[in-house]
Structure 1
Amino acid sequence: MSPDATAPTGSLAERAWRRATSIWLWPWHWPGREARRALPKPRLADLPAHATVSFWRREAGRRILLGFSMVAVVMTYGVSGYMAMGWSFMDAFYQVFITISAVGLTEVHPLDSTILRVHTMATISMGLFAVGYTVGGFISLLTEGEFQKFLGQQRIMKSIANLTGHTIVAGYGRVGAMVCEGLAGAGMPFVVIEQDPARAAEMQTRGFTYILGDATDEGVLRDAGVGRAAVLVTSMPGDAANVFITLTARELCPNIDIIARAEQPSTQKKLRQAGANHVIMPAAIGAHRIVSLLTNPTAVEFVELVTQRSSLQIEMDDIPIVEGSPLAGLSLRDADVGRLTGVIVIAIKNRDGHLIFPARGDEVIGPGDSLVILGKRSNLDQFREKFLS
């Protein structure tokens, strides 16, 4: 049974239940539990600097915390034993302190009985072990890079906290990796959420900002800045995970633009109902492209020429028209964009989302509309300089 099946009602209770069950039911947590069983559960010591893991949950941090706990237990044992033999609290505490610290100072009271000597020897043995264990944690912190990992994690989380209007990519698989490459090439800020630690090295090598975690978890989405993000791309290989991520993100941020990947045609409707603005089926797109190459090869070559930004420097772009723009309130014929800048207006997308294609000369451009334009890179730059500066 999944942890959500018995989750108590109420958003706070659900979040607490999810956090509690995600630890001991991690591999079986719906959705995608079958795929998750195949993934190795990461050791906290192996997580890279970008992983959203508390310092005290790391190997060295837990060792230091356990060491301090052991020292506290030994101190309590030693002080209690000396006080039971008639010593005052301060005398007992001082005796235990100098004993486990091995400074070699003179005893507070003579150890003239067998039980006092046995108790002191036990305190020395346990105290030296606890102190040594704690010191080993500090050495591990410095020599194994745990401290650097923690500082790196804090830097990444701070940089994510400063992002606004960025893109969140959930899943760094085949599709997610290509999306990230495109975003990086366009210079757009983005954050990747990936659960498999085996892919962390590749993302780190490419300089991508990423978080190791479950994108279906509200806390992970918040760490990625979902409340400030402009777009969420959910590219998980499983449709169930994409639906769940879409539902969670839409609940957390009603205004975010969600682009969801689907593998099965039947999932498109579910993703739309879950709150996805756009649903992409890579398999269907690939099949349509093959058919187009067979039936209209010249047209496909032209589209590839535009979309791949070849040596001819032809680009397609969409330009939002804001209030006060020189184009606002003008028709395409009166704006005379083609003669002034050399670009071609292919379509107009109204503020209500309606797409006008082909764009006629008498179509009026209003504030909030977007123009889909085509032209050489220099002409697009000229358009932006004339109408957007």
Structure 2
Amino acid sequence: MVNIKTKFIFLYFIVLISIGSFGFHIIGGKGWGFIDSLYMTIITLSTVGFAEVHALTTFGKIWAILIIIFGVSGFALFISQLGENLMEFREKRRQRVQDILKKLRNHYIIFGYGRMGAIIADELAKKNTKYVIVENDDDKIIAIQEKGYQYYRGDATADETLDAVGVKYAKGIVVTLGTEQDNLFVTMSIRTLNKKTFLLSRCSHEDNKNKLKRAGADKVVNPYTAGGHKMTELLIEPNIEDAVSISTPQFDIDLLVEEIEINNVPSLIGVSIVDSNIRKKYNLIIIGIKDEKGKFQLNPDMNYKLGKDQVIMLIGAKSNIKSFQREYLKNK
């Protein structure tokens, strides 16, 4: 909505152009038509430096000087008002964001939009969950705006920021700030405000994991350790493709989720899940089946019969999956 000052500035220039054109017409006499006078006024105001329509008399030059003075003054007023409108727009947007955030309940909060924070935001967006990102870096905020994600510009270590994004009402919070010191401080501050929320924190050094847990984090993730563990698995077992590893360095769990095409296991075509003996012989569980039309069925019935062009999803120990592959799969 255009405010009164902006309307006044537009009216100011309309009046200035009108008076300026009329003045050139009067001073120039009959030789100055309406178009010539208007043209001279416009090029004088814009200071583009085009040639004069007609030679100016002394009074004409004085009139041009007056138009330039009033034009520059009006332009300065316009720039000032433009800056004021921009600040007002930003304040209204900030207030609108705060009003939205005040209504959020059972939402998720991401502190820090680094590489890990960006991935988490993408995943939450895919799941259509309510969440907000807290960031204070201009470049990262531009990246957030380009994706259309909800965000709050502020210092994550400030109490007013924690209040603004509704830490007290959040369902889950992840802290992925740039420094261990900030992660530790924010984790502790969040836990003080909300005892029940699930709090996930990132650490870069294993030595700080226990500190973050003592500060209130439910889980602490070291992306370098987790990533290194996954790369080691791929290095040692490069033939296990398209498998989702569930093994972790912290726990003695060595599970894989592997997709198997039934066409590669002809002996299973037309056989029910219970009669396939996959569970009994290999201690593997069929957790899902994708049929020939691409439709996925989770946790299929044990009497379900396997058919051509289907894909089964197995979960089990890596060693058991390898045993199954060695015995049944072709070209392995």
* Length-normalised TM-score, structure 2: 0.51
Q: Identify the residue that residue 302 of structure 1 maps to in structure 2.
A: 243
Amino acid at match of 2:83: S
Match of 1:140 among 79, 83, 86: 83
Amino acid at match of 1:163: L
Query: For structure 1, which segment, 152-161 or 258-267, has the greater mean C-alpha deviation from structure 2 after superposition?
Result: 152-161
In the superposition, relative to structure 1, how do residues 381 and 290 fare at CA in structure 2: closer, same or farther (>3 Å)? Answer: closer
* Distance (Å, rounded) in 2 between the aligned partners of 1:359 and 1:289: 22
Which one has more relative contact order, counting CA pairs under 8 Å at least 6 apart? 1
* Distance (Å, rounded) in 1 between the aligned partners of 2:296 and 2:103: 33
* Distance (Å, rounded) in 1 between the aligned partners of 2:170 and 2:237: 39
In the superposition, relative to structure 1, how do residues 216 and 275 fare at CA in structure 2: closer, same or farther (>3 Å)? Answer: same
Amino acid at match of 1:140: G
Match of 1:277 among 213, 218, 222: 218
Q: Is the 8 A contact 1:237 1:263 kept in 2?
A: no
Amino acid at match of 1:245: V
Match of 1:248 among 173, 184, 189: 189
Amino acid at match of 1:183: L
1:380 is displaced (CA, Å) by: 4.2
Equivalent residue runs for 1:1-389 within 5 Å = 138=81, 140-142=83-85, 145-299=86-240, 301-303=242-244, 378-380=296-298
* Distance (Å, rounded) in 1 between the aligned partners of 2:160 and 2:289: 43
Q: Is the 8 A contact 2:101 2:166 kept in 1?
A: yes
* Distance (Å, rounded) in 1 between the aligned partners of 2:146 and 2:258: 26
% identical equivalent positions: 26
Unaligned ranges ≥5, structure 1: 1-132, 313-337, 340-357, 361-372, 384-389
In the superposition, relative to structure 1, how do residues 229 and 141 fare at CA in structure 2: closer, same or farther (>3 Å)? Answer: same
1:138 is displaced (CA, Å) by: 4.8
Q: Is the 8 A contact 1:292 1:300 kept in 2?
A: no
Which is greater in Rg?
A: 2
* Distance (Å, rounded) in 2 between the aligned partners of 1:203 and 1:168: 14
1:140 is displaced (CA, Å) by: 3.0
In the superposition, relative to structure 1, how do residues 300 and 263 fare at CA in structure 2: closer, same or farther (>3 Å)? Answer: farther
1:379 is displaced (CA, Å) by: 2.5
* Distance (Å, rounded) in 2 between the aligned partners of 1:178 and 1:276: 20
Moved over 6 A (4+): 133-136, 307-310
1:237 is displaced (CA, Å) by: 2.6
* Distance (Å, rounded) in 1 between the aligned partners of 2:296 and 2:284: 22
Query: For structure 1, which segment, 282-291 or 177-186, has the greater mean C-alpha deviation from structure 2 after superposition?
Result: 177-186
Unaligned ranges ≥5, structure 2: 1-75, 247-255, 262-272, 275-282, 302-332
* Length-normalised TM-score, structure 1: 0.44
1:198 is displaced (CA, Å) by: 2.5
Superposition RMSD in Å: 3.8
SS in 1 for 2:120: helix
* Distance (Å, rounded) in 2 between the aligned partners of 1:226 and 1:375: 40
Q: Is the 8 A contact 2:288 2:296 kept in 1?
A: no
Output one character per residue of 1:216-257: Cα deviation in whole Å (capped at 9) or x when no partner. Answer: 112101101111111110011311111111100000101111
Q: Is the 8 A contact 2:111 2:174 kept in 1?
A: yes
